[in-house]
Amino acid sequence: MKKQTKLNERWIIFIKIMLDPWVLVLGASLVIIIHALQDTEGFNIHLYVILLIALLSSILGAFIIKKWIDIHNEDLVINRGKVSIKNLKLIYFNLLRTEKRIKACIRKLDKKDPAYDLTVTFFEEVIEKCHILQEECITSVSAWADVITDADAKTMLTQVFKLKDRKESLLREVHDLKKHFYESDAKDKVYDEQFERQLAQKEFDLNEVNNQLTEMENRINNSILSGMTGTSILKEANNDLSNFKTHEN
Exposure b/e, 44-79, CB count within 10 A at least 16 = b? eeeeebeeeeeebeeebeeebeebeeebeeeeeeee
With respect to residue 141, please indicate whether it lies within any of the assigned structural domains: no
Evaluate the CA torsion angle 4, 6, 7, 10 in order and state its sign: negative
pLDDT greater at residue 187 or residue 246: 187
Please report how the helices 153-183 and 116-142 are oriented relative to each other, as an axis angle in degrees rounded to 10. Answer: 130
Least confidently predicted of 1-5, 182-186, 224-228 = 1-5
Q: What angle do CA 238, 239, 240 make, to 5 degrees?
A: 90
3 state DSSP class of 86:
helix
How much is the pLDDT for 45? Answer: 56
CA distance 156 to 8: 35
Q: Could you tell me if residue 69 is inside a domain?
A: yes
CA dihedral for 103, 108, 111, 113, sign (positive or negative): negative
If we measure between CA atoms, which residue out of 33, 63, 35, 61 comes closest to residue 48?
33
**71 or 162: which leads in pLDDT:** 162
**Summary mean pLDDT of the chain:** 74
**Residue 204 counted as domain residue:** yes
Q: Which of 60, 77, 94 is the last residue of a domain?
A: 77
Question: Pseudo-torsion of CA 239, 209, 164, 242, nearest 10°?
Answer: -20
pLDDT over 70 at 220, yes or no: yes
Give the number of other Cβ atoms within 10 Å of residue 174's Cβ.
18
Does residue 95 lie within any of the structural domains?
A: no
Question: At residue 20, does pLDDT exceed 50?
Answer: yes
pLDDT tens track for 227-237: 665 544 434 43
106 inside domain? no
The least confident of 17-26, 137-146, 195-204 is 17-26
Of the candidate ranges 117-131, 139-153, 232-246, the one whose mean pLDDT is the lowest: 232-246
User: How many domains does one find in the chain?
Assistant: 2
Residues 92-117: tens digit of each pLDDT? 888 888 888 998 898 888 888 888 88
Instruction: Bin 227: left if φ > 0, else alpha if -120 < ψ < 50, else beta.
Output: left
Q: Is the pLDDT of residue 196 over 80?
A: yes
Residue 167 lies in a domain: yes
| Position 185 in a domain | yes
How far does Cα 121 stand from its chain's mean position? 34
Whether residues 157 and 249 share a domain: the answer is yes
Q: What is the arithmetic mean of pLDDT over 73-99? A: 82
Residue 212 pLDDT exceeds 50: yes
Q: Is residue 64 within 8 Å of residue 17, measured between CB atoms?
A: yes
Residue 56 lies in a domain: yes
Domain that holds residue 197: 152-249
Q: What is the pLDDT, as a whole number, of residue 239?
A: 44
Last residue of a domain, one of 77, 94, 120: 77
pLDDT at site 3:
47
